[in-house]
Chain A
Amino acid sequence: MVQKRCVQRILIGLGAVGIAVGPLAVAASAQDPPDPAPVDLVAVREAWAFYTDQLFGADLDGDGVPDVVDSDGDGVPDIPQGEPGERDITPANPLFMTQITADLEAIGLDTVVEADKGSKLIGDCGGLALSYDGDGKLIDVAVGVPSNEGGGPNGAVVDIYGSGFGKRAFTSGNPFEVDATVVYIGTLPRDGDGPREHNWTIKTSGISLDKGGDPNANGKNRNAGEVDLDSVPSLLLPSGIFPITANLTSQNNLSCTAEGWIIFKGSNPLVSLPSAAAALFGVTGLVGLLFNARPAITWKA
């Protein structure tokens, strides 16, 4: 009787382990294969130079101040002006571009950025994103090389700042770091008419985060701006690594699909509403299992 019960428990334990490990193994093996196309460093440098010039040099409203750096027109740059980063210069400073370009050249012109899984840039779209922490310190920079500009069939997003320098950016192994502020510019395509009557969506793991669209009657082919998480209450700030998929379709058949991974580092994971919910669920579940779900022996006459 005792042996039978032992065997029964061992089988149940093995079943539980199977339930736990089996789907995880299947999920791990089902991940996207690596992008087969390494990208030429020359294309990365060229894209970096192009987007930096567009981002920090464009003055479409003619007020004498670059548009992105002063998007609200108050004469005060939007770029965070806190403590300088590790290169002791701010991105708005031309020296920053010189330094990054020198770093890229130091790798070697014949170097290719190796393929990695997780980030894609399908369509003739490209761009540049700079991320800052709450003190205004630059923490991450990624440049997107369009497929028609040397980025390969799936485009290429390359990390050109910090610990992941020279690697593919927005991958699961090297996610783009987001803290307080992200400044970005994107093009579709670099030259020529932009998408008209377009619709776009942003999703994470199939869940819609945002969507929109625009007639874009002027055929604008680029967009720049700033995402400011500093204005979001800290309790609502996300934390962790998230897959992001952005998609844009248009009437004139211009489209862009961007996939990648983002890590949110700006909030304390213990001080947030999701954390409170996790604590409530976890403690209730654990206490319930220990004190209210165990089998019980009762006696009666």
Chain B
Amino acid sequence: MAMISNLQRHPVRGGLYGLLLGLGVAIYLVLFAITPFSLTTMAIIVVVGIALGAAWGAFAPPKRSGDEPLPGRAAGVGASVPLDDAGPGVEVGGGE
């Protein structure tokens, strides 16, 4: 049976987390007087957070999850897991 890999991107989720991170960073920058309080500056930092978060959610190095096939069984479109990168949860060899 062929295993087909599917890459799921999360730009919206990344953007939301980026918004939260941007808010936190903006507040700390003001609290520690690194930047003066300004709605414009804070909005810029939050927008940058959203942009970077969305980019991270879309293009960061992917993690492997789900029922990952054993290396020897990998086949089909996009199934290109190298033998030396079995990933988590896959036992290669006898273990301890």
Question: Which A residues contact B (CB, under 8 angstroms)?
Answer: 8-9, 12-13, 15-16, 19-20, 23-24, 27, 172, 204-207, 239-243, 261, 263, 269, 272, 274-275, 277-286, 288-289, 292-301
- B31, A278: Cβ atoms under 8 Å? yes
| In the complex, B86 has a CB within 8 A of chain A | no
B18-57 interface mask toward A, CB cutoff 8 Å, 1 = contact, 0 = none? 1111111101101111011111110010011101110111
Cα A243 to Cα B39 in complex, Å, equals 11
Contacts of A278 in B (CB 8 A): 23-25, 27-28, 31
Q: Return 16 A-B CB contacts under 8 Å, by A number.
A: A20-B51, A24-B44, A204-B37, A240-B37, A241-B33, A241-B35, A275-B31, A278-B28, A281-B27, A285-B19, A289-B17, A294-B56, A296-B66, A297-B66, A300-B4, A301-B1
By a CB distance below 8 angstroms, the chain A residues around B5 are: 297-299
In contact, B13 and A298 (Cβ under 8 angstroms): no
Contacts of A241 in B (CB 8 A): 30, 33, 35-37
Q: A24: shortest Cβ distance to chain B, in Å?
A: 6
| Residues of chain B at interface, number, CB under 8 A | 58
A16 to B51: give the CA distance in the assembly, Å.
7
Contact: B51 with A296, CB < 8 Å?
no
Known: A295-B62, A297-B6. A285 touches B53 (CB 8 A): yes
Partner of A269, one of B17, B31, B53, B63: B31
Given A281-B23, A281-B24, A296-B64, A289:B56 Cβ within 8 A: yes
Cβ of A204: which chain B residues have Cβ within 8 Å of it? 37
- With both beta carbons as reference points, the residue of chain A lying nearest to B1 in the complex is identified as A301
Asked if B20 contacts A294 (CB within 8 A), the reply is: no
Are the C-beta atoms of B21 and A289 separated by less than 8 Å? yes
Question: Do A279 and B24 contact each other (CB < 8 Å), given the known contacts A240-B33, A295-B8?
Answer: yes
CA distance A284 to B53 in the complex (A): 13
Q: Collect the chain A residues with CB atoms within 8 Å of residue B44's CB.
A: 20, 23-24, 27
Interface membership of B67, Cβ < 8 A:
yes
B18 touches A296 (CB 8 A): no
Counting CB contacts under 8 A, is B94 at the interface?
no
Contact present for B21 and A286 (CB under 8 Å): yes
* Cα–Cα distance between A5 and B89 once the two chains are bound (Å): 28
Residue of A nearest to B87 (CB): A297
B83 to chain A, nearest CB (A): 16
What's the Cα separation between A187 and B68 when bound, in Å? 77
Asked if A299 and B52 sit within 8 Å, CB to CB, the answer is no
Q: Which of B16, B24, B37, B60 contacts A205 (CB 8 A)?
A: B37
Q: How far is the CB of B67 from chain A (nearest CB, A)?
A: 6
Please measure, in the bound complex, the distance between the C-alpha atom of A172 and the C-alpha atom of B34, giving whole angstroms. Answer: 12
Residue picked from A9, A16, A272, A295, most chain B C-beta under 10 Å: A295
- In the bound assembly, the distance between CA atoms of A172 and B62 in angstroms comes to 44
Q: Which of B41, B51, B59 contacts A27 (CB 8 A)?
A: B41
Known: A19-B48, A24-B44. A243 touches B3 (CB 8 A): no
Shortest distance between the CB of B87 and any CB in chain A (Å)? 9
With A295-B59, A297-B7, A301-B1 known, 7 other A-B pairs at CB within 8 A are A240-B31, A240-B37, A243-B37, A263-B33, A278-B31, A285-B18, A293-B10
